[in-house]
């Protein structure tokens, strides 16, 4: 494995494909996205293969995740927003699995790339706008010009509100991608010194690396949670803005 900590973020073509001059090659990023999705499906199938009234330890895993996201949506969106539960639930599981998958050797952290995370953020933005228009019709325009605001303030208020709306997917994307990139770089750099330092300090550097990996697992889950709860809050704004 290369000692360059940035090499783990390089997108590599696994199956070169070009159509009309456009590069649509199958890459390591696409492969890890597929693996993440299949891993979630496999986990749920494995844990729910035997259902019982008294949940087993395995059955508690998907049920706890379901209840966690359900409560998050009820608190931040309301019960009327549960019709979009499947999107939010899938979003959390996909990002969480992607964050953790990148910790495995020779894997790839697609959540560290702005293109991958940004696409999900734009999808969430389109959903929010669609929900707002569906519920409020032309009243959705008050999102950019709140009721009671003096008309002479429109040239100032409208651009600010538009920028505020468009900045939401940007903030979601940069927060997640930056955290995943920095965390994995630190882990790769420190892990690269373990073998050498262990010759001098014994098992202490290895123990420290294990602690760092556990911390990175926590960060991966936390960042997926932060991304998801902010998506819920933005969706809630589409439901309750006036």
| pLDDT at 177 > cutoff 80 | yes
Better-predicted residue by pLDDT, 143 or 71: 71
Segment 56-61 shows an average pLDDT of 79
| pLDDT at 78 > cutoff 80 | yes
Least confident of 44-48, 50-54, 57-61: 50-54
Q: Say what the alpha-carbon torsion angle 143, 228, 26, 187 is, to the nearest 10 degrees.
A: 130
| pLDDT at 2 > cutoff 60 | no
pLDDT of residue 198: 60
Better-predicted residue by pLDDT, 142 or 14: 14
User: Quick one: which of 94, 123, 88, 93 has its CA closest to 32?
Assistant: 94
pLDDT of residue 3: 61
pLDDT of residue 197: 65
**Average of per-residue pLDDT values in the chain:** 83
pLDDT of residue 92: 94
> How many residues does the structure list for the chain?
242
User: Quick one: which of 88, 108, 131, 125 has its CA closest to 239?
Assistant: 131
The structure tokens 């492969």 sit at 31
The structure tokens 């697992």 sit at 217
pLDDT of residue 17: 85
Three-state secondary structure of the chain? CCCCCCHHHCCCEEECCEECCEECCEEHHHHHHHHHHHHHHHHHHHHCCCCCCCCCHHHHHHHHHHHHHHHHHHHHCCHHHHHHHHHHHHHHHHHHHHHHHCCCCCCCCHHHCHHHHHHHHHHHHHHHHHHHHHHHHHHHHHHCCCCCCCHHHHHHHHHHHHHHHHHHHHHHHHHHHHHHHHHHHHHHHHHHHHHHHHHHHCCHHHHHHHHHHHHHHHHHHHHHHHHHHHHHHHHHHHHHCC
Q: Could you tell me which residues come within 8 angstroms of residue 226 by beta carbon, excluding any fewer than 6 positions away? A: 175, 176
| pLDDT at 115 > cutoff 80 | yes
pLDDT of residue 227: 93
- Please state, in angstroms and rounded to a whole number, the distance separating the CA atoms of residues 160 and 154: 10
| pLDDT at 134 > cutoff 60 | yes
| pLDDT at 52 > cutoff 90 | no
| pLDDT at 120 > cutoff 70 | yes
Least confident of 37-51, 133-147, 167-181: 133-147
pLDDT of residue 128: 86
pLDDT in tens, 23-47: 888 888 899 999 999 999 998 888 8
pLDDT in tens, 192-230: 676 666 655 656 667 777 888 888 889 889 999 999 999
Segment 59-72 shows an average pLDDT of 88
Contact 76, 84 (CB under 8 A): no
| pLDDT at 242 > cutoff 60 | no
The half-sphere exposure of 120 on its side-chain side, counting CA atoms within 13 A, is 28
Segment 236-240 shows an average pLDDT of 79
């Amino acid at each position: 494995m290369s000692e360059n900590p940035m090499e783990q973020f390089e997108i590599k073509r696994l199956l070169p494909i070009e159509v009309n001059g456009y590069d649509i090659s199958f890459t390591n990023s696409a492969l890890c996205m597929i693996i993440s999705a299949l891993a979630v499906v496999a986990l749920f199938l494995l844990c729910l293969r035997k259902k019982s009234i008294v949940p087993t330890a395995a059955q508690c895993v998907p049920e706890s995740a379901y209840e966690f996201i359900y409560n998050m949506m009820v608190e931040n969106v309301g019960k009327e927003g549960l019709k979009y539960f499947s999107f939010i639930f899938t979003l959390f599981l996909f990002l969480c699995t992607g964050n953790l998958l990148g910790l495995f050797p020779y894997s790839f952290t697609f959540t560290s790339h702005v293109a991958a995370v940004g696409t999900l953020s734009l999808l969430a933005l389109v959903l929010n706008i669609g929900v707002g228009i569906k519920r409020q019709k032309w009243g959705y325009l008050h999102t950019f010009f709140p009721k009671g605001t003096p008309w002479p303030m429109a040239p100032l208020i409208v651009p600010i509100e538009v920028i505020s709306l468009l900045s939401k997917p940007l903030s979601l994307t940069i927060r997640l991608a930056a955290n995943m990139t920095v965390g994995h770089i630190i882990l790769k750099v420190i892990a690269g010194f373990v073998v050498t330092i262990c010759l001098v300090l014994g098992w202490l550097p290895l123990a420290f690396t294990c602690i760092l990996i556990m911390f990175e697992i926590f960060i991966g889950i936390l960042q997926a949670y932060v991304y998801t709860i902010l998506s819920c809050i933005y969706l809630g704004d589409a439901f309750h803005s006036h």
